[in-house]
A = this chain, B = another copy of it.
Amino acid sequence: MNQQECPITFTLEVIGGKWKPYILHFLAARPLRSGELGRLIPQASGKMLTQQLRELERDAVIRRKVYQQVPPKVEYSLTPHGETLMPILDAMCAWGRQNPPAKAGKVRQRQARMGGD
């Protein structure tokens, strides 16, 4: 079985966006407004955020609720389908917690790529 027919491919089509894991992770805690998400993910520009949210919405893992009022208010939340992704997000979260980037210590040589964008 190669990459093209590997189930992982389907998964990455949904959560494989630059900011999608974060969005899903934060929405898992509670519904959030655009601005709140922006503040939680400061590295992502508004443009990127909107784009990723649109794709997640198309894939039916998040829901977009518009409050018809002034000023405008939009709230995003996970759909039941989106919640099925939680095991993946939780696993990623757990691993990151147990394997913080090497600083001073015993963990194998890890050359801390601080290449962050």
A-side residues, CB < 8 A to B, are 2-4, 6-22, 25, 39-44, 55, 58-60, 79, 81, 84-85, 87-89, 91-101, 108-117
Contacts and interface: CB of A to CB of B under 8 A. Distances in A.
Given A3-B44, A16-B112, A84-B99, 8 more contacts: A3-B43, A4-B42, A6-B22, A6-B25, A10-B100, A13-B108, A13-B111, A16-B111
A54 B4 CA distance: 23
B92 A11 contact: yes
A93 B104 CA distance: 34
Nearest to A79: B108
Contact of A117 (B2, B14, B25, B117): B117
B16 A114 contact: yes
Contact of A93 (B11, B25, B40): B11
Contacts of A7: 92-97, 100
B95 A60 contact: no
Nearest to A92: B11
Contacts of A97: 7
A80 to B, nearest CB: 9
